[in-house]
Amino acid sequence: GEEFAVLLPDALLSDGRLYAETVRGRFAAQRLPVLGVDRCFTASFGVAQAGRGDTLHDLLHRADAALYSAKAGGRNLVRVALGELPPLPAMGAA
């Protein structure tokens, strides 16, 4: 399988999870008839949110750990990296 990253600037962790779940569900709904055999696709996702002071390496490391957790959990799953979350914005902040 291939691995790739999707960056969602200014998105919350919940937005990333919803995006990943949507893509995973659409992937799983597709069929690929090959030589009369009905095959399906699966995709596993690791979702992480950048925190203050994170490097791209830090972000990718957490997302990758979540991805391998999804694969270890049976594949075709979305797992979220919950460690060291950035603080939520203050209510009413723009």
Structural domain includes residue 25 = yes
Side chain identity at residue 61, one-letter code? H
pLDDT in tens, 38-84: 788 889 999 999 988 999 999 999 999 999 999 999 999 999 998 65
pTM for the whole structure = 0.79
Q: Compute the chain's Rg from CA coordinates.
A: 16
Range of the domain at 34: 13-80
What is the domain count for the chain? Answer: 1
pLDDT: which is higher, 81 or 92: 81
Minimal CA–CA distance to 41: which of 9, 75, 3?
A: 75
Residue 91: pLDDT over 90: no
CATH number, domain with residue 51:
3.30.70.270
Is 19 domain-assigned?
Answer: yes
- In the numeric block, the tokens 């659409």 are attached to 26
Residue 2 lies in a domain: no
Residue 88 placed within a domain:
no
In a domain, 44, yes or no: yes
* pLDDT, tens only, 9-33: 989 999 999 999 999 999 889 887 8
Handedness of CA 14, 19, 8, 71 (dihedral sign): positive
